[in-house]
């Protein structure tokens, strides 16, 4: 699996040192591990996690299949309280190894009842960086299929117990522009029924302002609308997740077709939409609130360039340093310069926009 355009473009961006490039490509070609998160209320999650750790993992230790040792599941080191796991076994092992087949059946059952969420490790990160608390008003702007939404909803319900559910004072609005995908959101959220969840179907880049009463006042039935409206103000959010549509070239390990079709134009074409969604989020954020912007792309045009343009357009906002939030997480700082291309064949001859413009003199 190779793509010359991909290698040429990303080597020019200096996204990592030259001596790590071969290792990076090999990682992209390696199978993606299976990862899951122990979900539900904190108390329930801790009990189930102890069951996995003390019962299932010891039972899977020392398994040999067709002459080869198979490693048991391991906890993801950076996830809080060790509530996320990963294992890397083939479907053949899951089907034919008695020990792993039993564990797989356990995972399927617990997933169906909402105690486990099958979720990729990187997908777990954005909600963690939001640090949602039960009183927060939260907006997930591009929420489908809903694994991050479920994670946010669990954070709102952090005070739930094994035997009772809480009524969080906060709110979560999960939005998606595709009406069919909103059904996936509802299906995902059904595993944790909550009075604090609302699902909407709007274009995130022009998400409408939501008006709420300024005071708890009951108006007479014949009160004019314009009078009632004066008692309203726009709902602003404490936390907003912008997991925006993207080219997805960070998902090559599971979407092998990207190796054949990748082009820098994929990211270029989405930059404008991504920026508009982020700017809309910034306008709906309460003072002192937080936005997490995320993609599943490694393209700086879809990441750093969007953030830079948004901050330039709204200078009252600032970046937050979250490098110490998950101490065990291995990460790399974002880059501060990049070389865009407006050509499918990856012509990178113009370090700046001005240099490009000079080749197209006005007539």
Domain ranges of the chain: 31-118, 122-357
Q: Which two three-digit tokens encode residue 7?
A: 């290698």
Residue with tokens 């048991």: 72
Say what the pLDDT of residue 335 is: 94
Task: Please state which of the ranges 49-53, 116-120, 215-219, 316-320 shows the lowest mean pLDDT.
Answer: 215-219
Nearest to 169 by CA among 203, 119, 135: 135
Residue 243 is labelled as binding a ligand: yes
Is 242 an active-site residue? Answer: no
Query: Is 148 annotated as belonging to a binding site?
Result: yes
Confidence bin at 136 (pLDDT 50/70/90): very high
Q: How far is it, in rounded angstroms, from Cα 234 to Cα 250?
A: 36
Asked if the model's pLDDT at residue 10 lies above 60, the reply is yes
Topology of domain 122-357, per CATH? Rossmann fold (3.40.50)
Q: For residue 322, what pLDDT is reported?
A: 94
Overall average pLDDT of the 161-189 stretch = 85
Average pLDDT, the chain: 90
Residues 6+ apart with CB under 8 A from 251: 258, 296
pLDDT band, residue 41 (cuts 50/70/90):
confident
- Confidence check: pLDDT of 11 > 80: yes
Instruction: Identify whether the C-beta of residue 138 lies closer than 8 Å to the C-beta of residue 130.
Output: yes
pLDDT value at position 216? 56
Q: Other CB atoms closer than 10 Å to residue 273's CB: what's the count?
A: 16
What percentage of residues in the chain have a pLDDT greater than 70? 95
What confidence category does residue 226 fall into, taking pLDDT thresholds of 50, 70 and 90? confident
* CA atoms of 283 and 204, how far apart (whole Å): 12
Please state, in angstroms and rounded to a whole number, the distance separating the CA atoms of residues 249 and 266.
Answer: 9
pLDDT of residue 227 exceeding 70, the answer is no
Q: What confidence tens digit (pLDDT) does each residue in 295-337 have?
A: 999 999 999 999 999 999 999 999 999 999 999 999 999 999 9
| Radius of gyration, alpha carbons of the chain | 23
What three-state secondary structure class fits 102? Answer: helix
Asked whether residue 98 is marked as a ligand-binding residue, the answer is no
**Residue 147 annotated as part of some ligand binding site:** yes
Task: Name the pTM for this structure.
Answer: 0.91
pLDDT: which is higher, 8 or 359: 8
Q: Is 143 annotated as a binding residue?
A: yes
Mean pLDDT of 150-173: 85
* 3-state SS, residue 192: coil
Least confident of 37-46, 173-182, 187-196, 220-229: 220-229
SS3 230: coil
Single out the residue of 179, 150, 158 nearest to residue 241, CA to CA: 150
Question: Do the annotations mark residue 19 as ligand-binding?
Answer: no
* From 15, 156, 281, 296, active-site residue: 296
pLDDT digits (tens, 9 = 90+) for 50-79: 999 999 999 999 899 988 899 999 999 999
Q: Which fold has domain 31-118?
A: Alpha-Beta Plaits (3.30.70)
State the average pLDDT over residues 111-115: 88
Cβ–Cβ under 8 Å, residues 292 and 277:
no
Concatenating the DSSP letter of every residue in 248-281 gives: -GGGTTT-THHHHH--HHHHHHHHHHHHHHHHHH
- Range 311-314 contact pairs with CB under 8 angstroms and sequence separation of 24 or more: 313/279, 314/279, 314/282
pLDDT for the residue numbered 362:
60
Matching residue, tokens 């083939």: 90
Maximum alpha-carbon separation in the chain: 80
What does the alpha-carbon distance between residue 258 and residue 251 come to, in Å, rounded to a whole number?
Answer: 8
Percentage of residues in the chain with pLDDT exceeding 90? 71
**Cβ atoms of 278 and 291 closer than 8 Å:** yes
Segment 181-203 shows an average pLDDT of 87
């Amino acid at each position: 699996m190779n793509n010359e355009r991909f290698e040429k473009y990303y080597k020019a961006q200096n996204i990592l040192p030259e001596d790590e490039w071969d290792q990076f490509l090999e990682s992209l070609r390696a199978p993606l591990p299976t990862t899951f998160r122990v979900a539900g209320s904190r108390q329930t999650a801790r009990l189930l996690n102890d069951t996995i750790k003390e019962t299932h993992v010891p039972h899977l230790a020392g398994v040999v299949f067709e002459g080869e040792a198979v490693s048991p599941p391991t906890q993801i080191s950076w996830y809080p309280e060790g509530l996320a796991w990963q294992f890397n076994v083939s479907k053949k092992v899951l089907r034919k190894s008695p020990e792993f087949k039993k564990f797989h059946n356990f995972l399927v059952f617990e997933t169906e009842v909402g105690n486990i969420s099958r979720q990729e490790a990187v997908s777990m990160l954005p909600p963690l960086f939001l640090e949602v608390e039960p009183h927060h008003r939260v907006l997930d702007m591009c929420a489908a299929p809903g694994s991050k939404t479920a994670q946010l909803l669990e954070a709102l319900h952090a005070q739930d117990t094994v035997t009772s559910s809480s009524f969080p004072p906060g709110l979560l609005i999960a939005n998606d522009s595709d009406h069919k995908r909103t059904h996936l959101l509802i299906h995902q959220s059904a595993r944790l029924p909550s009075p604090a969840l609302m699902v909407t179907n709007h274009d995130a880049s022009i998400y409408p302002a939501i008006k709420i009463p300024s005071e708890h006042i009951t108006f007479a039935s014949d009160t004019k609308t314009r009078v009632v409206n004066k008692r309203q103000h726009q709902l602003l959010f404490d936390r907003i997740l912008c997991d925006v549509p993207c080219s997805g070239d960070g998902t090559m390990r599971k979407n092998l077709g990207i190796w054949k079709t990748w082009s820098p134009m994929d990211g270029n074409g989405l930059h404008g939409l991504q920026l508009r969604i982020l700017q809309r989020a910034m306008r709906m954020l309460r003072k002192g609130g937080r936005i997490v912007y995320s993609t599943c792309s490694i393209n700086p045009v879809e990441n750093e360039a969007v953030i830079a343009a948004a901050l330039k357009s709204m200078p009252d906002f600032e970046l937050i340093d979250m490098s110490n939030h998950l101490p065990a997480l291995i990460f790399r700082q974002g880059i501060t310069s990049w070389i865009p291309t407006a050509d499918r064949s990856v012509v990178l001859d113009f370090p700046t926009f001005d240099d490009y413009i000079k080749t197209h003199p006005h007539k």
